[in-house]
Amino acid sequence: MRRSLPAGGLQWLGATLLLALLLMAPAYAQDPQSLKARHAALAEQLSDTPFQRPLHLESRQTEDTLQGDIYAVIEQPYALVGTALQGSTHWCDILILHLNVKSCRASSSPSAEVLHLHIGRKFEQALADAYPFEFTYRVATATPEFLQVRLDAEDGPLGTSRYRIKLEAVALDERRSFLHLSYSYAYGMAARVATQAYLATLGRNKVGFSIVARDAAGQPVYIGGMRGLIERNTMRYYLAIEAYLSALAEPPAARLEKRLNLWHSAVEQYPTQLHELEREQYLTMKRQEIHRQQADTTVE
């Protein structure tokens, strides 16, 4: 049974739609050679990039779908990446870094592993006021040089559906890996109207990363609207993966604080698109959310 929109209206909607991922994604690599070929094809974009890291971002919108894709080279060996990005609990550690993810709990049964998420607003919020998502987690492929992980949720708010998160990784050499992260979702008329209302009011100054023009002074004009929304959140989730992997160099007891700080530092490299909270606001909110999550798990 579908839940009605919780309190918070348009602000809440902007938060929930951050997970939206498109159905009509480009072909996904099924083997290391295909992903390495994509890396070779993007050589120019990855070397001449505005992102302060070897990263390429794409987005697209059709009549009823949205999609964001990031391709990036990271200074992490695949021996670490291929292990660290497997496991539903690892993905909860990644997803909770996003400021709109209020909780993430992994469960397993003989038939499936599931991530139970609550998506809400950019400040502390009761879980009853956030929207629950259930993502089925599975490792589609895992070999000594190639990984594909998929998270799927069939239902969302306001008639959105078929949410997809896909992560692919391949070894480039002994110290580097190449990642492809994709988000997509399908939406109907109700979601389109509500999102356009949000983007015309509370989200009217929000932009993405794609440059669509130059102004009279030669400054970039960035994509707005629904494509801007999917680009912002694709980047936020990619930076969560990057922060998670980098924090693994710390002792286990120090990793949570390290990845929280790394994530905030990373998003602040793109203030035009991603600035929302000051560091202490973000850290305080996340510490409280994670403490609540740990307490709930203990009670269970």
Query: What percent of the chain is predicted at pLDDT more than 70?
Result: 87
pLDDT score of 53? 97
- The predicted model gives 183-204 an average pLDDT of 76
Which tens digits make up the pLDDT trace of 105-162? 999 988 889 999 999 998 889 999 999 999 999 999 999 999 999 999 998 877 788 8
Q: Are 141 and 30 in contact (CB under 8 A)?
A: yes
| pLDDT confidence band for 298 (50 / 70 / 90) | low
The pLDDT of residue 2: 42
Q: What is the mean pLDDT of the chain?
A: 88
The answer to whether residue 19 scores a pLDDT higher than 70 is no
Residue 120 CB neighbour total at 10 angstroms: 25
Q: Which two tokens stand for residue 150?
A: 């998929």
Q: How far is Cα 15 from Cα 5, in angstroms, rounded to an integer?
A: 12
Q: Which of 51-60, 122-131, 241-250, 281-290 has the lowest mean pLDDT?
A: 122-131
More confident residue, 265 or 226: 265
Query: Is the pLDDT reported for residue 28 higher than 70?
Result: no
**What are the tokens at 239?**
């930076």
Could you give the CA distance from residue 180 to residue 169 in angstroms, rounded to a whole number? 6
Amino acid sitting at position 250: E
pTM for this entry? 0.88
Distance separating alpha carbons of residues 173 and 144, to the nearest angstrom: 12
Domain extents in the chain: 9-299
Which of 3.30.530.20, 3.40.50.1000, 3.90.920.20, 3.40.50.300 would CATH assign to domain 9-299? 3.30.530.20
Assign 21 to helix, strand or coil.
strand
pLDDT at 158: 75
Q: Is the pLDDT of residue 263 over 60?
A: yes
For residue 258, pLDDT over 60 is answered with yes
Contact 35, 213 (CB under 8 A): no
Higher pLDDT pick, 7 / 120: 120
The token duo for 123 is: 């400040």
> Does the pLDDT of residue 275 top 70, yes or no?
yes
Which pLDDT score is estimated for 204? 74
The torsion region of residue 20 among left (phi > 0), alpha (psi -120 to 50) and beta comes to: beta
What's the pLDDT band for 63 if we cut at 50, 70, 90? confident
User: Helices (H), strands (E): how many in the chain?
Assistant: 10, 10
For the residues 45-61, what does the mean pLDDT come to? 96
180-205 average pLDDT score = 79
* pLDDT score of 52: 94
The stretches of 72-131 forming alpha helices (DSSP H) are 78-84, 88-95
Q: How far apart are CA 198 and CA 221, in angstroms?
A: 20
Distance CA 147, CA 222 (A): 33
